[in-house]
Amino acid sequence: MGIRAPRPADTPMTDQKHTPVMLDRCLELLEPAIAAPGAVLIDATLGLGGHTEAALTRFPELTVVGLDRDTDALALATARLAPFGDRFRPVHTVYDRIRDALDGLGIDRVNGVLFDLGVSSMQLDEAERGFAYAQDAPLDMRMDRTSGQTAAEVLASYPESALRRIFERYGEERLAPRYARRIVEARMLAPIERSDQLNRIIADATPQAARRPGHPAKRVYQALRIEVNAELAALEDALPAALDALIVGGRIVVLAYQSLEDRIVKREFAARSRSTAPAGLPVELPEHAPELRLLVRGAEQADDAERALNPRAIPVRLRAAQRLREVA
Give per-10-residue mean pLDDT for the chain (328 aa).
Answer: 34 52 97 97 95 98 96 94 97 96 97 89 57 82 88 97 97 96 97 95 90 86 94 96 97 96 97 76 68 95 94 94 89
**What is the per-residue pLDDT for 148?**
87
Q: Which domain holds residue 313?
A: 13-122+231-323
Binding residue per annotation — 68? yes
39 to 34, 43, 48, 103, 109: CA distances (angstroms): 5, 13, 22, 16, 10
Same domain, 43 and 112: yes
Query: Is 6 contained in some domain?
Result: no
User: Distance (Å, rounded) from C-alpha 84 to C-alpha 125?
Assistant: 26
**What is the per-residue pLDDT for 5?**
31
- In terms of C-beta density within 10 A (0-12 exposed, 13-18 middle, 19 or more buried), how is residue 153 classed? middle
Binding residue per annotation — 244? no
Query: Is 127 contained in some domain?
Result: no
Same domain, 92 and 148: no
Same domain, 213 and 261: no
Same domain, 248 and 107: yes
Q: Which of 168, 203, 229 marks a domain boundary? A: 229
| Residue 266 CB neighbours (<10 A) | 18
**What is the per-residue pLDDT for 327?**
79
**What is the per-residue pLDDT for 118?**
80
162 to 157, 165, 176, 179: CA distances (angstroms): 10, 5, 10, 12
Same domain, 252 and 272: yes
CATH number, domain containing residue 212: 1.10.150.170
Residue type, 317: R
**What is the per-residue pLDDT for 134?**
76
Query: Is 7 contained in some domain?
Result: no
Query: Is 85 contained in some domain?
Result: yes
The answer to whether residues 89 and 65 touch, using CB atoms and an 8 Å cutoff, is yes
Consecutive H or E run containing 184: helix 176-187
Binding residue per annotation — 104? no
Same domain, 154 and 201: yes
Q: Which of 191, 207, 229 marks a domain boundary? A: 229
The structural domain count of the chain equals 2
Same domain, 207 and 284: no
Binding residue per annotation — 171? no
105 to 76, 194, 260: CA distances (angstroms): 21, 40, 32
Binding residue per annotation — 51? yes
Same domain, 109 and 22: yes
Query: Is 261 contained in some domain?
Result: yes
**What is the per-residue pLDDT for 271?**
94
User: Distance (Å, rounded) from C-alpha 246 to C-alpha 234?
Assistant: 19
Same domain, 285 and 308: yes
Same domain, 158 and 179: yes
Binding residue per annotation — 136? no
CATH number, domain containing residue 288: 3.40.50.150
